[in-house]
């Protein structure tokens, strides 16, 4: 049986593995015990905005927590965009007929697919 959806699934699994590795790596990489300072020049308007997002009645105790969270969200947004791109690539493979017969052994099919892809 043809498995266009299975190929997309394989793409997703491969990407998920990379993403999970990235998340685990960065979980330790972003350990707060290894922090360094970075001074950033802000306009008065920006400084007021950042300050208004921290302190009493907000989600963040300090402006640094707020800025770190912004950076984490941006990093996650970029990674999600990469993931979406790879999923679309998998769908394009299906649309253009770049699919393979499913033998019932996913690992064997992956090995075969990688061998033919590297040629």
The region that residue 118 occupies, defined by phi over 0 for left and psi between -120 and 50 for alpha, beta otherwise, is alpha
> What's the chain's average pLDDT?
79
CA-only gyration radius of the chain, Å? 22
**Any idea what DSSP says for residue 30?**
T
Q: Is 115 helix (H, G, I), strand (E, B) or coil?
A: helix
Identify which of 82, 85, 117 has the alpha carbon closest to the alpha carbon of residue 100.
117
Q: Where are the domains of the chain?
A: 1-17+55-103
pLDDT in tens, 11-31: 666 666 666 566 555 554 555
Q: How confident is the model at residue 93 (pLDDT cuts 50, 70, 90)?
A: confident
Average pLDDT, integer, range 45-55: 95
pLDDT in tens, 68-81: 999 999 999 999 99
């Amino acid at each position: 049986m043809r498995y266009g959806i299975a190929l997309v699934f394989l793409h997703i699994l491969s990407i998920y593995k990379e993403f999970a590795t990235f998340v685990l790596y960065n979980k330790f990489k972003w350990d707060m015990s290894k922090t360094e300072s970075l001074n950033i020049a802000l306009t008065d308007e920006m400084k007021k905005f950042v300050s208004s997002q921290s302190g009493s009645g907000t989600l963040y105790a300090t402006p640094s927590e707020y800025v770190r969270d912004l950076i984490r969200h941006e990093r996650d947004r970029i990674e999600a965009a990469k993931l979406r791109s790879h999923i679309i690539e998998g769908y394009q493979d299906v649309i253009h007929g770049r699919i393979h017969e499913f033998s019932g052994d996913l690992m064997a099919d992956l090995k075969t697919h990688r061998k033919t892809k590297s040629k």
